[in-house]
Structure 1
């Protein structure tokens, strides 16, 4: 039952994203800059890169 609820929630979130694209909403440049700063890795190790990517994903989930 839990997996069905999670699946439906993810589908709903995806649908919301599609509707936003259909309305051609723009993402604020500050948001994109913040994500870019989180993901920018330079010459760091894979584990650090993965951690930064996970932080960026968490930030996106909280704001969308």
Structure 2
């Protein structure tokens, strides 16, 4: 009898708890949050960081960019 009342309260807490969503996220939710986290990081690493540190990347540029072969 004690076991059945315990299961009843766990069912109530799981159904109406606001934390239930955060305890059991679906794989789609994880994929969306991962995409939203990785996209700005990728854009910053490709475009933002080199633009903010131009003097560091000047030595890496090719010297013969405009010359014909």
- Greater CA radius of gyration, 1 or 2? 2
The higher-RCO structure (CA 8 Å, 6+ apart) is: 1
> Fold conserved (TM > 0.5)?
no
Give TM-score scaled by structure 2 length: 0.30
